């Protein structure tokens, strides 16, 4: 990939991540850390590619470990985040958006 | 399958991640957010089976996904809410390990790459490996498998030395193109593993959340870097977004604890101020639960300050029951949460939410601190340092400067506490000796149950 295109992606993604988090109430810090923990579970895709073009047994074994770990990251991250967010409910729908922003 | 379809799916996946993360940043839409991100993940994973670089190992790959997925699913469903932080650490470590393993496969293949790509592969490997072993140590510590902190003389120098040697090996691999030895690659990974362990063992339990958040950001970066190496835009974007979001989250947490991130990593808690407890005037005055029940039932405004002690005693359900009783009597009850209550910022909110407390009667420090002066009764249950006025007044105190909840400004303060000793951090709490403070001794859950039945009888 072109060096500068990569650099642009890097910059824009970094700004996006920063902007998303900067307006978050403290109440959501732990769920959000857990949520972002889930999102880097996308490493599973890379682990599959690494395993899928492994050339030797050693590479296959390392690739296998990578896929196991990555799948654990993705699934575990999702389950834990979902369980946490499931609990957020409001006592009164009228002042539902009080805590936003 | 045409490459276009695969690339389009990755694009959609990345978009769903960003939108999902955005939705997760408000309590109203948060649940939808994780589902969106989940859909993105499933799409990206399924389409990868058709990736042109994958030409074999399909069955083995599916087996691996099943193994990792099932173990994580079962453990994630079973874990208690109080143990959430260490599970996040564990899953995060797995992600870091996966990123490092990808780098290992790429580097073992010794295919010619540009200097930039090879640098990203090596740096990603280093960061991922450190996040892997560091997160595991954090998990062991929070799980109680590994107790206390390990410190020895010249520790920081030794860590620095290991880091420099690791970097040297990494640099050698980068500069030698495809000519590096497999043994030096192995040494590089082992050193990185050791560094992650060394860096984490001296850090105390109270600082663990900040460290987990930091490793979360590092794993994101590692995933992003390996995404550049594999030319996989979904990994690049998701990884870098998490890397930067995680860095900000780490800073916010460190700020909430009034501990610069460098202090968390390179110094030891309590070393700053003098260890001696400064002179405390007055004495602790006891009260029994019948009086507390009367006090709260006839108050206009009550604020509950829960701490991790409440969660450990599993008292949050009883506290919520008590809150409902008070609300029926027309008492205004609010919960005040310090940013570092629980084991992580927001952890206490999750624990209260588990008990059914609606999030709109839960307030954070900035929102509620001015209200204490007009509050009749403050009930401190299982919290300690976060209400210690020494943070405002005593420059020698290790927690001096940390923002605290101004519970001492209220008309009456009731502190529920197991015994008379100092708290988790061993710092004497001046609030306990104040004239308007009464101590209610006992286990959090037992005390809360007593309060519930006493209020009922009124």
Instruction: Give the dihedral of Cα atoms A88, B406, B374, B442; nearest 10 deg.
Output: 70
Q: Is B86 exposed, middle or buried (0-12, 13-18, 19+ CB in 10 A)?
A: buried
CA distance B422 to chain A (A): 27
pLDDT band at B227 (very low <50, low <70, confident <90, very high): very high
pLDDT of residue A89: 64
Of the two residues B65 and B283, the one the predictor is more confident about is: B65
pLDDT of residue B421 exceeding 60, the answer is yes
CA distance B157 to chain A (A): 31
Contacts of B65 in chain A (CB under 8 A): 44, 67-68, 71
| B385 in catalytic set | yes
For the stretch B108-130, pLDDT in tens is 999 888 998 999 999 999 999 99
Give the DSSP H or E segment for A68: helix A57-85
* A61 in reach of chain B (CB within 8 A): no
pLDDT of residue B255: 77
pLDDT of residue B268: 53
pLDDT of residue B19 exceeding 60, the answer is yes
DSSP of A16-61: HHHHHHHT--GGGHHHHHHHHHHHGGGHHHHHHHHHHT--SHHHHH
Q: Do A10 and B13 touch (CB under 8 A)?
A: no
CA distance B263 to chain A (A): 21
Which pair of tokens denotes residue B50? 């058709």
Name which of A2, A16, A27, A96 to mutate to probe chain B: the one with the most chain B Cβ atoms within 10 A of its Cβ: A27
Q: Do B106 and A76 touch (CB under 8 A)?
A: no
DSSP of B170-196: HHHHHHTTT---HHHHHHHHHHHHHHH
pLDDT (average), residues B14-20: 94
User: Which among B28, B95, B241 is the nearest to A70, CB-wise?
Assistant: B95
Which pair of tokens denotes residue B263? 């202090």
DSSP of B20-81: HHHHTTSTTTHHHHHHHHHHHHHHHHHHHTT-TT--S-HHHHHHHHHHHHHHHHHHHHHS-G
Q: Which of A84-88, B76-80, B288-292 has the weakest average pLDDT?
A: A84-88
A18, HSE (Cβ side, Cα atoms, 13 Å) = 9
pLDDT of residue B225: 96
pLDDT (average), residues B242-267: 81
pLDDT of residue B75 exceeding 80, the answer is yes
User: Which among B34, B81, B226 is the nearest to A82, CB-wise?
Assistant: B34
pLDDT of residue B101: 97
Residues 6+ apart with CB under 8 A from B161: none
pLDDT band at A91 (very low <50, low <70, confident <90, very high): low
pLDDT of residue A90: 59
pLDDT of residue B311 exceeding 90, the answer is no
For the stretch A25-79, pLDDT in tens is 777 778 888 999 999 999 999 999 999 999 999 999 999 999 999 999 999 999 9
């Amino acid at each position: 990939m072109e060096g500068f295109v990569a650099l642009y992606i890097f910059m824009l993604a970094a700004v996006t991540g920063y902007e998303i988090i900067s307006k978050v109430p403290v109440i959501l810090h732990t769920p959000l850390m857990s949520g972002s923990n889930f999102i880097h579970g996308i490493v599973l895709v890379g682990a599959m590619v690494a395993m899928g073009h492994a050339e030797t047994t050693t590479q296959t074994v390392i690739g296998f470990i990578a896929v196991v770990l990555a799948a654990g990251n993705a699934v575990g991250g999702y389950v834990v985040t979902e369980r946490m967010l499931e609990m957020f409910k409001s006592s009164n729908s009228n002042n539902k958006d009080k805590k936003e922003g | 399958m045409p490459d276009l379809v695969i690339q389009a799916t990755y694009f959609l996946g990345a978009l769903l991640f960003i939108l999902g993360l955005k939705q997760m940043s408000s309590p109203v839409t948060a649940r939808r957010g994780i589902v969106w991100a989940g859909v993105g993940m499933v799409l990206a994973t399924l389409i990868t089976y058709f990736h042109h670089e994958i030409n074999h190992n399909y069955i083995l790959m599916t087996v691996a996904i099943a193994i990792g997925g099932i173990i994580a699913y079962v453990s994630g469903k079973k874990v208690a809410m109080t143990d959430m932080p260490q599970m996040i650490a564990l899953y995060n470590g797995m992600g870091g390990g996966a990123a490092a393993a990808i780098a290992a496969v790429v580097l073992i293949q010794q295919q010619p790459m540009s200097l930039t790509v090879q640098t990203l592969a090596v740096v990603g490997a280093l960061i991922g490996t450190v996040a892997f072993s560091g997160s595991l140590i954090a998990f062991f510590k929070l799980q109680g498998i590994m107790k206390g902190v390990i410190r020895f003389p010249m520790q920081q120098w030794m860590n620095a030395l290991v880091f420099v040697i690791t970097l040297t090996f990494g640099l050698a691999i980068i500069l030698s193109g495809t000519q590096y030895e497999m043994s030096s690659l192995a040494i590089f990974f082992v050193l990185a593993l050791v560094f992650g362990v060394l860096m984490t063992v001296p850090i105390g339990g109270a600082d663990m959340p900040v460290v987990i958040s930091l490793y979360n950001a590092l794993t994101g970066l590692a995933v992003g870097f390996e995404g550049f190496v594999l030319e996989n835009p979904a990994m690049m974007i998701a990884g870098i977004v998490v890397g930067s979001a995680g860095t900000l989250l780490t800073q916010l947490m460190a700020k909430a604890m009034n501990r610069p991130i460098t202090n968390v990593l390179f110094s030891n808690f309590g070393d700053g101020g003098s260890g001696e407890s400064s002179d405390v005037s007055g004495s602790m005055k006891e009260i029994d639960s019948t009086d507390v029940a009367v006090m709260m039932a006839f108050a206009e405004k009550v604020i509950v300050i829960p701490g991790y002690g409440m969660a450990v005693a599993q008292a949050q359900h009883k506290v919520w029951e008590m809150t409902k009783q008070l609300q029926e009597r027309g008492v205004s009850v609010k919960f005040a949460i310090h940013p570092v209550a629980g084991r992580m910022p927001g952890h206490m909110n999750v624990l209260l939410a588990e008990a059914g407390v609606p999030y709109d009667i839960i307030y954070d420090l900035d929102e509620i601190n001015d209200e204490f002066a007009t509050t009749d009764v403050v009930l401190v249950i299982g919290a300690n340092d976060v209400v210690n006025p020494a943070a405002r007044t005593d420059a020698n105190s290790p927690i001096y400067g940390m923002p605290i909840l101004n519970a001492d400004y209220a008309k009456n303060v009731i502190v529920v506490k197991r015994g008379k000793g100092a708290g988790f951090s061993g710092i004497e709490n001046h609030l306990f000796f104040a004239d308007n403070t009464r101590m209610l001794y006992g286990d959090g859950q037992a005390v809360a149950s007593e309060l519930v039945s006493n209020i009922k009888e009124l």
